[in-house]
Structure 1
């Protein structure tokens, strides 16, 4: 188990700019009264982390100062919050990485993920940036912490955050029980969407990708059939009730629209580049498709953790690599190659 260190510095993974990733010692600082000190066990490398590393930006969120990366983390409470809130010391926890801030912009009260006032760990969307949690120890609001059952392995629980993103995306289409589901893009989020749809009772799940490796992972977590992204006619013939577009590409969105049945639903969870996208929108009109966006998640993490614990949500095959934090650059390099990797984890337990 991770343990607290007796000083206020810690090893962290920091993006200083495009192609400038460093593993370095940083000041942890003292926690606020409502914050706990969490000794991080595992951190999952997300697509946004890769963009900050390679591009120095994620869409309009531009890196303007060095920033600790990471928002997919699990660990153990090393020091509980001084105000008595949150889990006790020694409790294994997953982390909900969002913090709500006041805003005057309108959004549905029951969908706080749409609030522009939400801060996210490891995000350059706001100034100053919100530091992430790829560090040996981090100070986190007690309200972010979700106590884990003793029989839920930390390595499995490390997928709770991205699985919540996938859960939210599948939920945006309503029930998938007995339906045919098409998932375009079988990277970690796509594979997790397959797993969630499988748990939800989908009758058929077809996964699409450009590489064989992610398709094999999708099969392991519930896909009943796989197609190569270049098989345009076969994808169009899927005739899916629900399509989850998780590739974040123009070609993927076009395939998603063509692969949907008349009156079907297409959920867009893959983040497309900023700006207009050339897609066959006329088909969405003439087939009366429902196109719906999906952004992060709200409280789905609680259902995810319960499903990971009871074994109804199978995610273990999605983790393909684990690297010690000292090898963070190598981990990011592997994670950036979807032909050989699924979810890549950083191990902070030995540092």
Structure 2
């Protein structure tokens, strides 16, 4: 079968991979839709994400919805022809973090399409990926699989909103990419009183304003508006851009005792940490998701308007063209790969 395999920076190939027999608790899928994530783009462009470096060929992909083709002999809750969304996380269940119920920061986490460990955890951008049965969330028979493929990034956004305790709060989301856009939607879902989204690209702000009831701000003007008194301070900032300047701006526009949730990977830079001290700010990282995946599936299926977040789809087997499109944030929000054999 064919698979999207990253060999190094800008070295993405459609390779042939041998299918294997299923273990008793495994499920074979027909990939219907796969969303190209920010981490996939980092692997494609740079051969790494943060400290996760591609050292051996690795199948990309962890955002997917699929059709069940085959189940192992011990699988009870998933059946052939089920439509499923896939939770890409595989915590070990035994380390101290898992024992404390903090599985998303498991010391031994395996995550589809991740180079964090060696050997790497192979991803799911292949024609017939195999996963554990408990990774499958069975969908209604009429579920839109393109919507379902948004569940993983929405779960990340929902986790960030939950850490921000946004209910009743005035929230700023910095960065109107996929995670920032979905974080704005999640913040509204979690009861934020007002949600603002900032970005340097006008086209990105136009897109998010069509998907959610938010106010938009040019990222370069946010700090000036607040510091000058023309606008109010924010209670919570969900920083999704990964830009160091956005982090520093967030510190300046947060009310004392405010909360900054860092959900985008930050580039190395000098950060103004003194404001954290003088305003007694809370800064938290938001990494992947904890127990939000099934809620995320339910949420995206109830929001057909989120189909507007998918700006382009490419046929399975199209590699560089699809990934290059994903890098163009002026034109695209979420780019997906579609396999017509299983997407109907």
State TM-score, norm by structure 2.
0.93
Q: Do the aligned partners of 1:319 and 1:343 also contact (CA within 8 Å) in 2?
A: yes
Question: Is 2:180 aligned against 1:187?
Answer: no
Give the structure 2 partner of residue 297 of structure 1. 289
Once the two structures are superposed, the pairs formed by residues 195-214 of structure 1 within 5 Å of their partners are 195-214=185-204
CA distance in 1, matches of 2:193, 2:152: 26
What root-mean-square deviation, in Å, do the aligned CA atoms of Structure 1 and Structure 2 show? 1.8
Give how far 1:84 is off.
2.5
Would you say 1:54 and 2:45 are equivalent positions?
yes
- Choose from 152, 162, 184 the match for 2:143: 152
| Greater share of helix | 2
Deviates more, 1:222-231 or 1:14-23: 222-231
Deviations 1:56-98 (A, max 9, x none): 1112111111110000011010012221234100000000001
How many angstroms does 1:150 deviate by?
2.5
Name the counterpart of 2:83.
Answer: 92
TM-superposed deviation, 1:28: 2.1
Of 177, 184, 197, 2:167 maps to 177
| Residue of structure 1 in register with 2:129 after alignment | 138
Asked if the contact 2:237–2:259 (Cα under 8 Å) also holds between the matched residues in 1, the reply is yes
Note if 1:308 corresponds to 2:304.
Answer: no
Partner SS, residue 53 of structure 1 = helix
1:245 paired to 2:239: yes
| Cα separation, 2, equivalents of 1:349 and 1:49 | 22
Structure 2 equivalent of residue 256 of structure 1: 250
**2:119 is the counterpart of 1:128:** yes
The 8 Å contact of residues 95 and 107 in structure 2, kept in 1 or not, is answered as: no
How far is 1:123 from its partner?
0.8
Does structure 2 conserve the Cα–Cα contact (< 8 Å) formed by 1:61 and 1:123? yes
In the other structure, the counterpart of 2:265 is 271
Which structure 1 segments of 5+ residues have no match?
A: 1-9
Structure 2 unmatched runs, 5+: none
- Whole-angstrom distance in 1 between the partners of 2:281 and 2:275: 8
Alignment-derived partner of residue 3 in structure 1: none
Query: In structure 2, which of residues 25, 28, 39 is the aligned counterpart of residue 37 of structure 1?
Result: 28
Query: Counterpart of 2:164 in 1: which secondary structure?
Result: coil
Equivalenced residue count is 338
Query: Contact 1:184/1:255 (CA < 8 Å) preserved in 2?
Result: no
Q: Deviations over 1:232-290 (max 9, x none)?
A: 312654411111000112111111111212221110000113x5x41222222222211
* Cα deviations by residue, 1:75-128 (Å, 9 ceiling, x for unpaired): 010012221234100000000001122665656612111112110000111111
Corresponding position of 2:338: 347
After superposition, the Cα gap between the structure-2 partners of 1:255 and 1:335, relative to the gap in structure 1 and judged at 3 Å, is same
Structure 2 contact 26–72 (Cα < 8 Å) conserved: yes
